[in-house]
Structures are given as C-alpha cells and as structure tokens.
Structure 1
Amino acid sequence: MDGRPQFLMTDPAHFDICYQINPWMRPADWDADRAACQQRAVAASRALKSALRVAGAQVETIEGVRGLPDLVFPANAAVVLDGKVLVASFRYPERQGEEAVFRSAFMQLKSRGLVREVVNLPEGVIQEGAGDCIWDADRRLFWAAHGPRSSHSSIAVIRKTFGQEVVPLELASDRFYHLDTCFCPLAGGKLLFFPEAFTPAALAEIYARVPAAQRIVATAEEAAAFCVNAVNLDAKVIMARAPETLRRKLQSRGYSLVEVDLDPFILSGGAAYCMTLRLDRTSQPSSAFLAAE
C-alpha cells in the first residue's frame, strides 16, 4: 500500500432486493421498475467510488455474484486491522453464501500484499464484519455490537484476534440491525450516533468514553436517511444525501460533506459505509484531522 486509504467495493451488476432480512428492505419498490432501479444502483455505486477516489482513496473492486445481492455490502465481510482479516459469519441463510466469496477475495488480496493474514471465526460464532465492529482510530479501540446480527460470543473472539480493547454495545432493535447504521466515529474524536438505537447499558458505555462535547447526536430523520452510515476521511464525510439539519451540525464542527445519491441501496438498508470495507486500518496512533469545536 502507498499510504492512501484503501477500500474494497463490489460491482453492483447483480444487486437486487429479492428478500427481506431487515425492516428497511423494500422488494416491492424494487420490483416496480427493476431495470430503472438497477441502472440507478450502478450509477450510485460509481458515484460513491468516484467520491472516494477524489478524497484520495484507492478502491479495489470484486465482481458481483448472481444470487448474492447483498455482496454489494462488503463492510459486513470482515473486520480488518493491521492487515489481519477476521472473515465474517452471517446469521441469515440469504447471506451465508457470501462467506466463501469474500474469503476467496481476501486470499487474493493477501497474495498481492494488500492484507497479511486471513482468519476464520470459531464455529458457532456469528459476527457480521465491520458493520458490527468499528475501529475508533482516536481512542484506539473497537466498538463492537451484538444483538440483531452478531452474537455476544464474538466480542471475546475479536479481542483475542486483534489484541485490542473491545467495547461491547448491545443494539436495541432490528431497525438499526448493524452498528454502522447508527454509530460513526469521526476524525478528531467526535462521534456521530443515534442514541435510540442502543440499550441503556450500551449508552452508558458510550457516554463513559465520549465526552458530551464530542458527541454529535443524529435525529430520527437523519438516521433514517442512512447518513450515520458514512465514510470519514479526515475532514470529509462521505454519505447519502443529508437533511439540512445534519449538514449544519457537521459543518459547524469543521467537517465537509460529500453527498451521494444512494437511494437504491437504502432500499436494501445500506449506504456509504455498508458499501465499502476499509483495508488499511492500523492500530498505530492516528494523525487524524482535528475538527474545530
């Protein structure tokens, strides 16, 4: 790697919404005009990839697979830190076919030196990748969710695999089924999150580690727009189209928004973060942009 942020994405040629495993998925809306929805999905994926590259990132793209429509959400494929890849194990049968595809992709990345080690979860442990396990570069710890998708037993596995502190967070409902739908650490130590997605115990963990001055609270409208499901690169926050309220909140803290029309993927319950997997995360101290107070 050459020092630029490195992301994995999936070609959306076989993206589809043909089942429902989260409350956001709307197969009927997709079926109403499949050709138009597919064209918009391809354009949206291309726009996100372009936004990442303009922001200075490199993007690796794997091919889609017919019959695996959610392969376009590689954030769920693995947890990656210091070149070590912990491959996901999915709860729902609809996504379990992705595991072998992503494992093969990671082995190819290893052969090219883009990752150094590929590790499997123990049998019976469910953990849905970086969607439920987010590295906080400023605090140098993982925030790891359990509940709707990932099992509580995954917390100890993550801790042992990476040798890093892991803060467990229980999610309160299927509506915010992955941590990345409601929780986004930002450069400079800020945290964009939707409190109602968490149990009281999980909120207590967040409040104990993130001072009030560093919390940016998303409203229900902002969370429903999938704007918390964002990619942060220093001062830039790449996300789905945002309500004006969120633009003002982030801009007042020194961040600039790069908004992309990701509506076809929001119909499936995912957006910018879900559609990417950061490959170059490191546990070394960050020299991140420090957003103004």
Structure 2
Amino acid sequence: MSVLQRTRGLGWGQRYVAVEPTHFRVDYVINPFMDPAVQPDPVLAMSQWQTMVRTLEGLGASVDVLAQRPDAPDMVYAMNLGLGLVRADGTRQAVMSHMRYAERRMETVSAGPFFAGLGHAPSYVGSDGVGAHLEAGDAFAFGDALVVGYGPRTEELALKHLAADLGVRVRGLRITHPGMYHLDLAFCPLDERRALVCPAALDAPSAAALLELVPEPLVLTEEEALTTFAANSVVVGSTVVMPACPPRVRTKLEEWGFDVVIVDVSEFHKGGGSIRCLTNPIDITVGRDLPAVPGGEVVIPPEA
C-alpha cells in the first residue's frame, strides 16, 4: 500500500463551524472536568482558540465563526450545536441538538439561524426539539453508518428519529463512563479504516461492536483519553490536529502515514472539551461519507 493510499484521510472535515470564546467561563458543573473555582484565563483561551483556527485554515480547511452569546458560556464547544450534513440531492441540513442540560439549550436559538445563513436548513429529530435529547458531539459518520453514542447526553430514542429523518443507518453505542460523556471524547475517525478508540467509555457489548466496526483501531487507554483528550482531535486530509499525543500513539499514526500537529487548547479542558469539541464539521455528505438507507435503520448491541 503506497503512502498516498495510506494518507488519504476522511472524505469530510474540510469545513467547520467554531464559536469565538468571548464569553467562555465555567459557571456551573455538568461534567466531571468543570469546577467554577478553576476559571480559564480569557486572554490565553482566546489565543489558544485563534491558534487552532489558524492551524486548521493553514491545512486548507475553512472555518465559519459564530459569535458567542453572553449567557451561554459553553457555546464555544461548537461540536454540540448541531449535525451539519449535505443530503444526497445536494441540499444542506443541520440537525440541531436538543441539549440534555437546560444551561446549554439557548445556544441553538442563535446557532439555528447561523446554520441557515450557511445554507444548512435547521431541523430537529422527530419534532421541534422538545422531544428526545440529541447532542451532536455523540455522532460521527464512519463505515456504513452514523455512529452515535447514547446515555449521558443523547437519549436512545433519538437514534430512531435520527435514522428515520435522515434515511441512514445509525449504529448506537452505549456510553457508561462519566468522564467520556460524549462519543467525541472516546472516538475519532481517521480514515475509512482507522480510528482512535477508547473502549473504556462504553459498556462491554458496545465496546466490542465499535472495535469490530473499525478494521484498524488505535486503542487508547482510559488514562490516555482522560488526561490527554487525544480522541478529541480532528483530521484534515492526512493531518491529525491534536491537543496532545502519547508517544506510542504518535508512532502508530506516523507509521500509518499521518502527520501530527499539536495545538495547546488546555484552557478549554477546564470546561470538559478540546479540539473536536471546539469545531463542528458541516461537510458530511449522505451517499458519499454516509450511505443512504431508505427508511433508516438502528442497530444497537444488547446491554451487558
């Protein structure tokens, strides 16, 4: 296999939405990383965020920036605003999140019109956003399906609505680890065969299902995932943009032909998110990155 073949990366991840951290702070506790007594440095946070955006743009990605609401300190974690898709007929859609916690629900009030301005018509799973909880940080296109974590934030019922509304296969994975409350803290697709995976985030049947789904997983330990946020990375072409990278992980990524670029976003770890949480890809295409399944289908491993 040639280096060119090994480093073609993902079909998506060239266009992102991000939220400028003008009002980023820790006002409450909705995950184990948050402590209002430990506040981010606003100047350093802004500098880290700007470096991240410049890095993505330098790699050829585009970044559309949404202003942060003063009353929404977590809005900077743009991955959870909604799921941006390009439908098979070329129309663009943004399935808006229905946040588990009321502290974040006002974010989509501003994000919906912003997505619409980018050409992505806002929608909600099943109804008008008052039904089952869905958070976009739990959803990734990989293989033959939209892989969706559920449990701490996204509800299992949302998977059924998502599959039917989009006409795709949804593979549900049950998240059980309190520190990896979104799938984006435990799963990072790299290309069509490879992904960073932390099985410790999931119950045993779901961990087994994910490892079976990924032909060549790069398995992260629980400690690596929680202390380095390595799975909360993004891929642009053949470059993996990471907040940190354990040496053995870097060795394997480079062996596979990927470049690794480290961007320090440690101020945002105080709110429980890293590079993936700060960026929302809106160029996933049904029929290319995500196979169409008429009527939709949900596949969920039995609970342990």
TM normalised by structure 1 equals 0.88
Aligned 8 A contact 2:96 2:108 in 1: yes
Number of positions where the alignment pairs a residue of Structure 1 with one of Structure 2: 269
Percent of aligned positions that are identical: 28
Is residue 108 of structure 1 aligned with residue 117 of structure 2? yes
Which whole-Å CA distance do the structure 1 matches of 2:26 and 2:262 have between them? 23
The partner residue of 1:133 within 139, 149, 152 is 139
Partner of 1:215: 217
SS in 2 for 1:250: helix
Partner of 1:282: 285
SS in 1 for 2:52: helix
Render the CA deviation track for 1:183-232: whole Å, top value 9, x for unaligned: 11111410111111110121122133223xx0100123321211100111
The partner residue of 2:240 within 237, 244, 255 is 237
Which whole-Å CA distance do the structure 1 matches of 2:208 and 2:197 have between them? 14
Which sits farther off after the overlay, 20-29 or 86-95? 20-29
SS in 1 for 2:286: coil
Which whole-Å CA distance do the structure 2 matches of 1:65 and 1:175 have between them? 26
SS in 1 for 2:284: coil
Aligned 8 A contact 1:81 1:162 in 2: no
Structure 1, gaps ≥5 residues long: 287-293
Which whole-Å CA distance do the structure 1 matches of 2:141 and 2:124 have between them? 19
Partner of 2:166: 162
Which sits farther off after the overlay, 221-230 or 46-55? 221-230
Alignment of 1:198-209 (within 5 A): 198-209=202-213
Is residue 90 of structure 1 aligned with residue 99 of structure 2? yes
Which whole-Å CA distance do the structure 2 matches of 1:4 and 1:207 have between them? 22
The partner residue of 1:99 within 108, 112, 116 is 108
Render the CA deviation track for 1:32-90: whole Å, top value 9, x for unaligned: xx6xx111110111011011101101110011111201110111011122122111000
TM normalised by structure 2 equals 0.84
Change (3 A) 1:163 1:232: same
Amino acid of the structure 1 residue aligned with 2:49: S
Is residue 259 of structure 1 aligned with residue 262 of structure 2? yes
Could you say which structure has the higher helix fraction? 1
Give structure 1 regions of 4+ aligned residues with deviation exceeding 3 angstroms: none
Which whole-Å CA distance do the structure 2 matches of 1:191 and 1:279 have between them? 19
Which sits farther off after the overlay, 8-17 or 239-248? 239-248
Structure 2, gaps ≥5 residues long: 1-11, 87-91, 290-304
The partner residue of 1:269 within 255, 272, 277 is 272
Render the CA deviation track for 1:233-258: whole Å, top value 9, x for unaligned: 22111110223232222112221111
**How much has 1:181 moved relative to structure 2?**
0.4
Partner of 2:4: none
Render the CA deviation track for 1:264-289: whole Å, top value 9, x for unaligned: 00111101110011111113436xxx
SS in 2 for 1:29: coil
Amino acid of the structure 2 residue aligned with 1:91: R
Aligned 8 A contact 2:16 2:279 in 1: yes
**How much has 1:27 moved relative to structure 2?**
2.3
Aligned 8 A contact 2:218 2:249 in 1: no
Which whole-Å CA distance do the structure 1 matches of 2:76 and 2:181 have between them? 17
